[in-house]
């Protein structure tokens, strides 16, 4: 009897490699994701066959993705260590997320790396030990005892490739059918991505390690002494009667194709078309999300060279302008400046401001203009005012415009886009553009009230938006495959007579270029240095939109 028991214990069960990977994907993706399924069950309203099918598709999509990934990496000799590590970490992660409500984002991974042993032991509990023993240690022990059966090399490789293709097609199929649901649910519940084990801790750890390596770098100076072109210099002692002022409006989620100025059939630009603004009809964004486009706009790097993780350790456009004696003010009404404004004065528009533009939950963009004319009235130094607008930020488009701008109806009045028709979504979105049109025209009219200033205004959106074309919604798709609606952005320029005259800048020439040429966010860094007459080492005159429209400075 004893002999028999020992024999069973010593027996090494055999399993074919593809079956092991399938079981592993099921265990990691489905079984060790308690908190993800609890979260989904809490927030997903299953009230139709479609939402039920969407709910079922989620674990299938997750398992297909995990199976695809482990098929890529788990080769003989690597299979066991990789799966052991995934099972043990996922088991602990599952316990922490389910019982303590932990989200495994980058800052949580940072805590894990920087915690001391005392702190770590404080988290150990009897329940935790039992939980990890049964969901981590036991499966791990079983795996170590397992005899994995591989086929001859070529056949094994063939099965892996077929498995990868199958998983890819399955995932693509699910995303194609349920794109609107995934985009809408994911955008409304952004924290869910930090619950998807093991993808959450793998990506957050990679991100944390990358950040650490960049954080240890020195801040990179592109030019320690940028300065105003000689004839435009002013000194601190003698205030300038006609300082140069740029109002730079960074828009949010506005797409070029919804601007009437770019040929859109609806009258979305009734106000700007009354002002003498210059419309750039063909401008490409740097990214399809704020986190990339915003720092990229202010960076000397081009889209193809730009890395959002590295850029915050490099001098940006605002740093150079500040060194060239410009006063900078960043006004924020969006989701933060992504480190771009870290070294310049910043005013955050807070939702509970006693302002008629804020309701305690949101502030519409006119809040950015409040008291700005008083500021302009007292200016004696060259100044750049950046207004970071909330623009057309979705999916709650209806929160971006006041009642008076609810002109395209019926509009979608909820953030869950799956519950609105495409026509309602487009109506809400177009109302945001209509309001942006008014907001920008108001900013231009405000600058016109100060004809003594050499003033200009440049508006550009960070990226576009999909509104249901080919089943796509929102933004953030990989640049290479993103539709033009996410990449083509509106750009508007207004130039005061005073600045045009003093800088010998030919507005008609700019207007002609704006109508004929294709530009991108890559042009902005150089064009704004040129427009503000700042000589800085990284300036490249080939990328300066205004360069060829400026007559040579005869006063030099
Ligand atoms: Zn954005």
The DSSP result for 124-142, as a single string, is --HHHHHHHIIIIIHHHHH
Half-sphere exposure in the Cβ direction for 556 (13 Å, CA): 9
What pLDDT is attached to residue 7?
Answer: 62
> According to the model, what pLDDT value does residue 187 have?
84
Phi and psi, residue 130, nearest 5°: -60, -45
User: What 3-state class would DSSP assign to 220?
Assistant: strand
Q: Rounded to the nearest whole angstrom, what is the distance from the C-alpha of residue 91 to the centroid of ligand 1?
A: 36
Q: Tell me: do 243 and 166 sit in the same domain.
A: no
Residue ranges in 74-178 assigned as alpha helix (H)? 79-100, 106-114, 117-122, 126-132, 138-145, 153-177
Encoded tokens for 468: 């249901």
Report pLDDT for 80.
Answer: 93
> 399 C-alpha to center of ligand 1: Å?
16
Residues 356, 275 share a domain: yes
Helices (H) and strands (E) in the chain, counts: 21, 15
Residue 238 Cα to ligand 1 midpoint, Å, equals 40
Q: How far is the CA of 296 from the centre of ligand 1 (A)?
A: 12
**CA–CA separation, 474 vs 476, rounded Å?**
7
> Cα separation of 453 and 472, whole Å?
45
Q: Are residues 184 and 275 located together in one domain of the fold? A: no
Q: Over its length of 556 residues, how does the chain's per-residue pLDDT go in tens digits?
A: 556 655 655 668 899 999 999 999 999 999 999 999 999 999 998 889 999 999 999 999 999 999 999 998 878 889 999 999 999 999 999 998 888 777 888 878 877 887 766 666 767 788 889 999 999 999 999 999 999 999 898 999 999 999 999 999 999 999 999 998 998 888 888 889 999 999 999 999 998 898 888 888 889 999 999 999 866 555 444 456 689 999 999 999 999 999 999 999 999 999 999 999 999 999 999 999 998 999 999 999 999 999 887 888 999 999 999 999 999 999 999 989 999 999 999 999 988 878 899 988 899 999 999 999 999 999 999 999 999 999 999 889 999 999 999 999 999 998 888 889 999 999 999 999 999 999 999 999 999 999 999 999 999 999 999 998 988 888 888 899 899 999 999 999 999 999 999 999 999 999 999 999 999 999 999 999 999 999 999 999 999 999 999 987 654 4
Q: Compute the distance between CA of residue 324 and CA of residue 301 in angstroms, rounded to an integer.
A: 20
Q: Are 285 and 518 in contact, with CB atoms under 8 Å apart?
A: no
Q: Residue 146 C-alpha to ligand 1 middle, in angstroms?
A: 49
What is the helix (H) or strand (E) element at residue 445, kind and residue range?
helix 422-448
**Residues 209, 231: one domain?**
no
User: Do residue 243 and residue 369 come from a single domain?
Assistant: yes
Instruction: Give distance in angstroms: CA of 297 to centre of ligand 1.
Output: 12
| Ligand 1 centroid from CA 406, angstroms | 22
Joined together, the tokens standing for residue 529 give: 């240095």
Q: How far is the CA of 458 from the centre of ligand 1 (A)?
A: 17
Q: What pLDDT is attached to residue 51?
A: 92
Using CB atoms within 10 Å of the CB of residue 487, give its burial: 0 to 12 exposed, 13 to 18 middle, 19+ buried.
buried
Q: How far is the CA of 437 from the centre of ligand 1 (A)?
A: 17
Q: Are 193 and 266 members of one domain?
A: no
Residue 510 included in any domain? yes
CA of 342 to the centre of ligand 1 (A): 18
Task: Assess if residue 220 is contained within a domain.
Answer: no
279 and 211 in one domain? no
Which residues are CB-neighbours of 426 under 8 A, at least 6 positions away?
Answer: 408, 467, 468
d(CA 464, ligand 1 centre) in Å: 8
Ligand 1 centroid to Cα of residue 54, in Å, is 27
pLDDT value for 357: 95
CA of 13 from ligand 1 middle (Å) equals 53
Is the separation of the CB atoms in 222 and 534 below 8 Å? no
| Residue 221 maps to a domain | no
Phi, psi of 498 (to 5 degrees): -60, -45
- What residue ranges in 147-288 does DSSP mark as E strands? 147-149, 227-228, 244-251, 278-280, 283-284
422 shares its domain with 371 = yes
Looking at 151, 186, 215, which one is the last position of a domain? 215
The answer to whether the beta carbons of residues 412 and 453 sit under 8 Å apart is: no
- Residue 342 falls within a domain, yes or no? yes
Q: What's the pLDDT score for residue 237?
A: 45
pLDDT (0 to 100) of residue 10: 67
For the CA atoms of 398, 401, 402, 408, the dihedral, rounded to the nearest 10 degrees, stands at -70
Q: Is residue 378 part of a domain?
A: yes
> Which residue reads 């979105």 in tokens?
429
Distance, CA 393 to ligand 1 centroid (Å)? Answer: 7
CA of 545 to the centre of ligand 1 (A): 23
* CA 253 to ligand 1 center in whole angstroms: 5
Mode of pairing for the β-strands spanning 227-228 and 383-388? unpaired
Are 150 and 8 in the same domain?
A: yes
Domain termination site, one of 189, 215, 241: 215
Tally of structural domains, the chain: 2
Q: Angle at the Cα of 459 (from 253 to 436), degrees rounded to 5?
A: 55
Tokens at residue 340, please? Answer: 């771009």
Per-residue pLDDT tens for 369-393? 999 999 999 999 999 999 999 999 9
229: left (phi over 0), alpha (psi -120 to 50) or beta: beta
Q: From ligand 1's centre to the CA of 303, what distance in Å? A: 16
Task: Please tell me the distance between residue 394's alpha carbon and the centre of ligand 1 in angstroms.
Answer: 9
Contacts by residues 10-17 (CB-CB < 8 Å, ≥ 24 positions apart): 12/145, 12/146, 12/147, 13/142, 13/145, 13/146, 13/147, 14/146, 14/147, 14/148, 14/149, 15/146, 15/147, 15/148, 15/149, 16/148, 16/149, 16/151, 17/79, 17/148, 17/149, 17/150, 17/151, 17/156
177 domain-assigned: yes
The answer to whether residue 222 sits within a structural domain is no
Residues 238 and 200 grouped into a single domain: no
How many A from CA of 334 to the centre of ligand 1? Answer: 9
Q: Report yes or no on 146 lying in a domain.
A: yes
With contact defined as beta carbons under 8 Å apart, do 463 and 288 qualify? yes
207 plus 237 within the same structural domain = no
Domain boundary among 184, 215, 246: 215
Q: Please tell me the distance between residue 202's alpha carbon and the centre of ligand 1 in angstroms.
A: 26
Parent domain of 320? 227-549
371 preceded by a cis bond (ω within 30 of 0)? no
Strand partners, 227: 535
Distance 305 CA to ligand 1 centre (A): 20
d(CA 440, ligand 1 centre) in Å = 18
What does the DSSP 8-state code read for residue 150? P
- 384 lies in the same domain as 519: yes
CA of 286 to the centre of ligand 1 (A): 11
Q: Say what the pLDDT of residue 108 is.
A: 83
CATH number of the structural domain spanning residue 317: 3.40.720.10
CA of 11 to the centre of ligand 1 (A): 58
Q: How far is residue 348's CA from residue 353's CA, in Å, rounded to a whole number?
A: 10
How many whole angstroms from 284 Cα to the centroid of ligand 1?
14
| 223: nearest Cα among 324, 138, 147, 124 | 324
pLDDT for residue 213: 85
The structure tokens listed for 428 are: 């809400």
């Amino acid at each position: 009897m004893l002999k028999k028991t020992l024999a069973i214990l010593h027996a090494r069960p055999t399993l074919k490699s593809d079956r092991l990977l399938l079981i592993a994907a099921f265990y990691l993706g489905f079984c060790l994701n308690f908190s993800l399924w609890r979260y989904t069950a809490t927030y997903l309203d299953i009230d139709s066959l479609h939402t039920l099918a969407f709910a079922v598709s989620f674990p299938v999509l997750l398992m297909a993705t995990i199976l695809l990934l482990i098929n890529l990496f788990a080769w003989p000799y690597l299979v066991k260590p990789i799966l052991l590590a995934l099972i043990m970490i996922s088991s602990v992660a599952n316990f922490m997320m389910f019982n303590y409500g932990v989200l495994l984002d980058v800052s949580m991974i940072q805590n894990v790396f920087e915690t001391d042993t005392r702190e770590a032991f404080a988290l150990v509990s009897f329940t935790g030990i039992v939980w990890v023993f049964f969901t981590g240690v036991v499966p791990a022990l079983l795996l170590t005892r397992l005899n994995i059966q591989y086929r001859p090399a070529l056949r094994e490789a063939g099965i892996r490739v077929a498995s990868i293709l199958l998983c890819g097609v399955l995932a693509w199929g699910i995303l194609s059918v349920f794109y609107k649901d995934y985009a809408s649910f994911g955008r409304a519940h952004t924290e869910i991505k930090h619950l998807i084990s093991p993808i959450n801790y793998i990506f957050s750890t990679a991100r944390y390690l990358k950040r650490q390596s960049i954080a240890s770098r020195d801040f990179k100076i592109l030019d320690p002494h940028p300065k105003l072109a000689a004839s435009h210099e002013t000194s601190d002692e003698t205030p300038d009667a006609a300082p140069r002022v740029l109002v730079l409006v960074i828009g949010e989620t506005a797409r070029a194709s919804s601007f009437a100025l770019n040929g859109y059939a609806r009258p979305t630009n009734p106000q700007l078309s009354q002002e003498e603004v210059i419309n750039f009809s063909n401008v490409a964004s740097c990214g399809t999300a704020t986190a990339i486009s915003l720092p990229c706009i202010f960076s000397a790097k081009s889209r193809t060279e730009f890395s959002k993780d590295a850029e915050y350790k490099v001098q940006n456009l605002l740093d150079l302008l500040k060194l060239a004696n410009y006063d900078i003010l960043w006004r924020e009404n969006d989701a933060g400046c992504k480190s771009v404004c870290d070294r310049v004065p910043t005013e955050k528009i807070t939702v509970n401001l006693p302002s008629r533009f804020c309701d305690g939950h949101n502030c519409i963009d006119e809040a950015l203009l409040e008291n700005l004319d008083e500021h302009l009235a007292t200016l004696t130094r060259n100044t750049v005012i950046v207004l970071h607008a909330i623009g057309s930020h979705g999916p709650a488009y209806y929160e971006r415009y006041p009642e008076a701008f609810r002109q395209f109806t019926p509009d979608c009045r909820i953030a869950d886009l799956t519950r609105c028709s495409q026509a309602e979504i487009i109506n809400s979105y177009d109302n945001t553009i209509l309001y942006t049109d008014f907001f920008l025209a108001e900013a231009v009219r405000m600058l016109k009230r100060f004809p003594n200033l050499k003033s200009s205004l440049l508006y550009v959106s960070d990226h576009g938006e999909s509104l249901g074309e080919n089943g796509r919604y929102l933004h953030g798709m990989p640049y290479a495959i993103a539709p033009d609606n996410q990449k083509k952005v509106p750009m508007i320029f207004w130039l005061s007579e005073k600045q045009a005259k003093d800088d010998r800048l030919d507005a008609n020439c700019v207007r002609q270029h704006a109508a004929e040429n294709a530009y991108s966010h890559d042009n902005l860094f150089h064009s704004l240095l040129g427009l503000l007459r700042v000589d800085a080492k990284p300036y490249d005159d080939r990328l300066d939109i205004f360069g060829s429209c400026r007559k040579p400075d005869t006063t030099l």
